Amino acid sequence: MTSATSAAPAEGSALPRLRLCGAPAGWLVCAAMVAALTGAIGLLQPYLPVPGLAALYLLTVLPAAVVWGFAHAVAVSVVGIAAFNFFYTPPAYQLAPEAWGDWFALTILAVTALVVSELATWSRRQAQEAALLARVAAALLEHGEVSGHLERMTADALGAGKAQILLDTGPAHGTGGECHPLAVGGRQVGTIVLRQLPRRGAAARRRVLPALASLLGVAIDRERLARQALEAETLRRSDAVKTAILQAVSHDLRTPLMAILTSAGALARRGMALDDCDRADLLSTVLEEAGRLDRLVGNLLDLSRLQAGAAEPLADVVAVDDLVVAALDQLTDQAGRVRPSFPWDPPAVRVDPHQMERVLVNLVENALKYSLASEPVFVRVTATCSETLIRVIDHGPGVAAAESQRIFAAFQRGPGSGSVRGAGLGLAIAEGFAEANGGRIWLESHEGQGATFVLALPVWHLETQL
Amino acid sequence: MNARVLVIDDEPQIVRVLRTVLEKHGYQTDTALTGRAALAAAARRPPALVVVDLDLPDMKGVEIIRSLRRWSRAPIIVLSGRARSGDKVDALDAGADDYVTKPFSTDELLARLRAALRRAGDVSDIAQVRVGGHMVDLARHVVLGPEGEVELTPTEWEVLEMLVRNVGKLISQPQLLTEVGGADYLRESNSLRVLLTRLRHKLEYDPARPRHLITEPGMGYRFSA
C-alpha cells in the first residue's frame, strides 16, 4: 500500500489538502464525517428505503480517498457500514453480520476507495511534476542559466538530497551519486547528478528527466544564440566605426598630401622660373601641410590608443604653469594670439606631462581655429586647494548648449565649422587624456559668448604623500 | 668645428638629412643603421658626440647608451618620437645628455649639439648674461634690472648659475639637486619648481612665456640663450 505515503506534501499541488495538522487531524475529520452521515441517515430513514441508503457513505469515502488516501478511505468504509448496520439494518441497535447487502455495499465502497485514492495520488503526482517543470522552465528562461536554486528545486521534486546539473559536458565521471545524461534530440546537453537518493521514486525520476532535458536544451541553445547575436552586433558596430573613421580621415589626409605633392613638384621642376619669394612660399606650404599631416596622424594614434585602453599615463609631478607653457611652445604659428595668465603660486599636479600637453594643445588649437585671427585666446589658470582649473577662452561663435556634449565625441565637428579644417578628433582626445589622468573637461559657456573650455585637475600636495 | 659626430638611425632619410646638415656646419659625420654597427664604429673611431635614435631594430637605444657609457664620456643626444616620455627619461638615466623630439627642427638639433659639445670650462669665463630685461653678473653675484637690483636667495643663485653655465643643455632635476646646496630641503618640499617659478617672475619679461628659464615637464630644465 504505497498510495498513502506517496501522497507526499509538495508545493503547487492543485488538489486541496485539508491537512490541518497531518494524519491525526485527518482521522478526526473522517470520524466526524462518518458520524454526521450516520446521523443524517437516521433523519432520512422514514422517507427512503433503508438498504439503498448505505450508498450514501460514498459521500464520506470519496473525500477521504482523495484527501488522505487509501487507509483513511477504507477505514471510513468499514466504520460507516458498521454504523449503518448497527443503527439501521434490522435488527436495529445491533450488528447483523448476516445482512449480505451491507457486505456488498462495503465491498463496493472499499473498491471505490482504492480506485479513487490511487487516481488522486496519480493526479497529484502529475501536477507536481508539471509544476516542477514549469518552474524549471520559468527559471531557465528568466536567468538563462542553471542556478543553485534550480538545482535545489530539482532535488526536492525528485526526492533526492542533492542535485547537480552540469551543462555541456560529455558523459560524467562517477563523482558519487547517480548520473543521468540529459539528452535532447540525440544530442547530450548535460548531466544531472543526484545524491542521497531514496529507493522509491525511481519511476518518477524516469518520467521527469526527459522533459527536464528538453527544457535545459532549449535554455542552453537560447544562451548560445544570444551570445552569438551580441558578438555579431559588436562586430557590426565596430566595423561601422572603422568605416566612418576611414571616410572622415581619408579626406583630411589627402588634402595636405595633395598640397605637398603639388608644391614640391613645382619646386622640383627645372623649367620653372621661380624667384626666391615663390620658392619660399612653396616651401612654407610644404612645411605647413606636412605639419598638419603629422598632427593628424598623431591624433589618430592617440585616439586609437585611448580607445584600445592603451593610454596608461606615466605620471610625474609638474607645475601647472609649466604644462601650459610647454603646450603653448608647440603652437609656434599662432602663439602670439594666446594670452596666458597664472596665479602667483601655480599648484603642482600629478599627470602624464605629454598627455596633458596634448590636451592643452588641442583645446588652444580649437580656440584659435574657431575665432578670428584678430582676436586673442585666453588661457586662465586658477586654483583652489583641491583643484586647479585651466580655462581656454575664445570669443568666436561659441557652441550651442544642445551640442555641448556631442562635440566631445570623436569625428564630431560643430555646426559652424564648415570651412575649418580638422577631423574633429581634438576634443575626443582631450577628454580621453584628461580623464585618464584624473581630470575632467567641460564646456562652460554658450552660443554667442564664445567658448570657454575648462580643464580641471586635482592638485597634488606633498603633505598628502608623506 | 671638425668634431666627429656619430649618427645612429635606421631610417635612411633621416640619416641623409642629418649628414647633409652636419657636414654643412663643419662636423665630420659617421653613420650607422644598427646598434651593433654603431658600437663597432664608435670603437673604431671614437666620436666627440653621438646622436642616437631610440627606436632601432636590433638594440634598444637605451642599451646602446649603456654600452657606450662603459668607456666613452662623449655627449649623447637622443632622437625620439613624440609619445612615451618614459623612453626619454630612461635614456637620460642611462647616461644620455639631451634629447630632440622628432620631427625636429635642424636649428634646435644644432643648438643642442653645440651646447652638448661645450665643455664646462668653456663657459667659466662668462661673467654676465642677459635674462629678460636684467643683467645677471655672475662674478659679482648681482642682478641689475630696470628698477634697480633684484634680490636672489642663495639657493636661487646656485640654481641660476648652474643653468647658465650649462647654457643650452638639459639639466635633469636629479642633476640639479645634486649640484645645489640645500638639495635635501628642495627635494623634500618639492619646491624646486617653485624656485624656478620665482626666478621666472623675477627675471623674465613675461613669466607666462619664459624665453630663458625653460622647464620641460617630466624631463628637466634648460637655460636658453
- pLDDT tens digit sequence for A102-151: 888 888 888 988 898 889 888 988 888 888 788 877 877 776 565 677 77
Q: A282-316: buried (b, 16+ CB within 10 Å) or exposed (e) per residue?
A: beebbeebbebbebbebbbebbebbeeeebebebb
Flag if B210 and A325 touch (Cβ within 8 Å). Answer: yes
Residue A417 — very low, low, confident or very high, per pLDDT cuts 50/70/90? Answer: low
Q: Closest residue of A to B187, CA-based?
A: A462
Q: Using an 8 Å CB-CB cutoff, list chain A residues near B210.
A: 325
Instruction: For residue A281, give the amino acid letter.
Output: D
Lowest mean pLDDT across A109-123, A167-181, A235-249, A260-274: A167-181
CA A113 to each of CA A63, A196, B98: distance values in angstroms, whole numbers, following the listed order: 9, 34, 105
* B86 closest CB neighbour out of A314, A318, A346: A314
Whole-number Å distance between alpha carbons of B147 and A396: 39
Question: Strand, coil or helix: what is A332?
Answer: coil
Q: Using an 8 Å CB-CB cutoff, list chain B residues near A318.
A: 193, 215, 217-218
Strand-pair partners of A183? A188
- Contact indicator for A44, A91 with CB cutoff of 8 Å: no
User: What pLDDT, on the 0 to 100 scale, is given for residue A17?
Assistant: 46
Instruction: For residue B124, give the amino acid letter.
Output: S
B203-207's contacts with Cβ under 8 Å and 24+ in sequence apart are B203/B131, B203/B132, B203/B134, B203/B136, B203/B143, B203/B145, B203/B150, B204/B131, B204/B132, B205/B132, B205/B133, B207/A342
Closest CA to A458 of A327, A347, A337: A347
Contacts of A120 (CB under 8 A, 6+ apart): A7, A15, A65, A66, A67, A69
CA-based radius of gyration for chain A: 44
The CATH class of B128-223 is: mainly alpha
Closest CA to A443 of A417, A388, A406, A412: A406
- B55 or A13: whose pLDDT is higher? B55
Question: From the CA of B189, how many Å to the nearest CA of chain A?
Answer: 7
Flag if A321 and B84 touch (Cβ within 8 Å). Answer: no
Strand-pair partners of A394? A451
Q: Using an 8 Å CB-CB cutoff, list chain A residues near B197.
A: 319, 321, 345-346
- What percent of chain A has a predicted confidence (pLDDT) above 90? 12
Flag if A321 and B197 touch (Cβ within 8 Å). Answer: yes
Question: From the CA of A357, how many Å to the nearest CA of chain B?
Answer: 9
* A462 closest CB neighbour out of B189, B214, B217: B189
Strand-pair partners of B204? none
Mean of pLDDT over chain A: 79
Whole-number Å distance between alpha carbons of A241 and A253: 18
Whole-number Å distance between alpha carbons of A1 and B151: 113
Flag if B208 and A354 touch (Cβ within 8 Å). Answer: no
- Contact indicator for A197, A159 with CB cutoff of 8 Å: yes
User: What pLDDT, on the 0 to 100 scale, is given for residue A201?
Assistant: 65
Q: Using an 8 Å CB-CB cutoff, list chain B residues near A353.
A: 85, 217-218
Interface test with A, best of B204, B209, B214, B221 (most A CBs within 10 A): B209
B132, three cell numbers: 629678460
User: What pLDDT, on the 0 to 100 scale, is given for residue A455?
Assistant: 95
B103 in A contact zone (CB under 8 Å): yes
Whole-number Å distance between alpha carbons of A343 and A387: 13
On the question of pLDDT at A8 being above 50, the answer is no
CA B94 to each of CA B60, B83, B84: distance values in angstroms, whole numbers, following the listed order: 12, 19, 16
Domain chopping of chain B, boundaries: 4-120, 128-223
Q: Which residues of A touch B (CB under 8 A)?
A: 294, 298, 301, 314, 316-319, 321-326, 328, 340-342, 344-346, 348, 352-354, 356-357, 462
Pairing label, strands A377-383, A440-443: unpaired
Instruction: For residue A417, give the amino acid letter.
Output: S
CA A436 to each of CA A112, A389, A462: distance values in angstroms, whole numbers, following the listed order: 81, 17, 21
Flag if B217 and A357 touch (Cβ within 8 Å). Answer: yes
CATH architecture of the domain formed by B4-120: 3-Layer(aba) Sandwich (3.40)
B105 in A contact zone (CB under 8 Å): no
Spell out, as residue ranges, where chain B has pLDDT lower than 70.
1, 82-85, 119-126, 181-190
Q: A13-37: buried (b, 16+ CB within 10 Å) or exposed (e) per residue?
A: beeeeeeeeeeeebbebbeebbeeb
Whole-number Å distance between alpha carbons of A155 and A163: 5
User: What pLDDT, on the 0 to 100 scale, is given for residue A12?
Assistant: 39
- Contact indicator for B62, B96 with CB cutoff of 8 Å: no
- pLDDT tens digit sequence for A25-71: 888 888 898 889 888 888 887 888 776 788 888 888 888 888 888 88
On the question of pLDDT at A6 being above 50, the answer is no
On the question of pLDDT at A456 being above 70, the answer is yes
